[in-house]
Amino acid sequence: MGEQIDAGHGGIPDWLAATLNYCTVCGAPLRFGPIEGEERERLACESCGHIEYVNPRLVVTTLPVTERGEVVLLRRGFEPGYGQWAQPGGFLEIDETVNEGAVRETLEEIGLVVEPGEVVGLYSRVEAAVVVLAFEARIVGGEARTTPEALEVHAFRPEAIPWREIAFRTSTWALRDWLRLRHPELHPGDDRVAEEDRLPEG
Ligand SMILES: [Zn+2]
């Protein structure tokens, strides 16, 4: 019964709003509207008063760097961004620290054991309801390999990053900020695709 949530429901993306029809406490329909004591309109249950706060999820990622200073990216084997390049990463689990999540996702996706180091950046993708954390990471073990999630794994020299084939703006931003940190001589801020929206649906 999607009609419980009207269009323009407080900035919640439609795809996410479609999953938020019923109260998780009592099962009654949720309604979007003003709530006493809240500074913005929210989804709430008219039956039991439960407020359904809707917040972004955290995606933890790494930019694994080889001993030669190359950055390891993967060609995504799943949507969104199928066939395009991105850094390894995924949703942080509820029982993990950000470091643990970043290490786990990197191992799962490309077979490398990494040691997260400096935080390169933290980026919002509002339309996807995520916040993406990017660590620079040292490769300390494992062996780069393809997986169902990674059609191809490649170590790119800093000047050879495939900007035109990067899956997400957040990946472009993370790579650009990493270059600013480690290779300012490449003038990464000048990259003409840096602000371009390459986000696929979802
Ligand atoms: Zn309820």
Distance 14 CA to ligand 1 centre (A): 22
Q: Residue 6: pLDDT above 90?
A: no
Distance between CA atoms of residues 64 and 87, nearest Å: 8
Distance between CA atoms of residues 84 and 86, nearest Å: 7
Distance 22 CA to ligand 1 centre (A): 8
DSSP, collapsed to helix, strand or coil, labels residue 94 as: coil
Residue 31 has what pLDDT?
Answer: 94
Q: pLDDT band at 194, cuts 50/70/90? A: very low
Domain boundaries, the chain: 1-54, 57-190
Question: What does the pLDDT look like over 45-57, one tens digit per residue?
Answer: 999 999 999 999 9
Question: What does the pLDDT look like over 11-40, one tens digit per residue?
Answer: 899 999 999 999 999 999 999 999 999 999
Neighbours of ion ligand 1 (CB under 5 A): 23, 25-26, 28, 45, 47-48, 50
**In the 8-state DSSP scheme, what is residue 168?**
-
Distance 198 CA to ligand 1 centre (A): 39
Distance 112 CA to ligand 1 centre (A): 45
Q: Residue 125: pLDDT above 70?
A: yes
Q: Single out the residue of 21, 24, 15 nearest to residue 2, CA to CA.
A: 21
Q: Residue 115: pLDDT above 80?
A: yes
Q: Give me the helices (H) in 56-183, please.
A: 98-110, 169-182
Distance 97 CA to ligand 1 centre (A): 31
Q: 71-76 and 85-86: which strand pairing?
A: antiparallel
Distance 75 CA to ligand 1 centre (A): 43
What are the backbone angles phi and psi of residue 173, rounded to the nearest 5°?
Answer: -65, -45
Fold of 57-190: Nucleoside Triphosphate Pyrophosphohydrolase (3.90.79)
Question: What does the pLDDT look like over 144-189, one tens digit per residue?
Answer: 999 999 999 999 999 999 999 999 999 999 999 999 999 988 887 7
Distance between CA atoms of residues 162 and 149, nearest Å: 19
Residue 10 has what pLDDT?
Answer: 78
Question: What does the pLDDT look like over 166-177, one tens digit per residue?
Answer: 999 999 999 999
Tokens linked to 156:
């790119």
Distance 128 CA to ligand 1 centre (A): 26
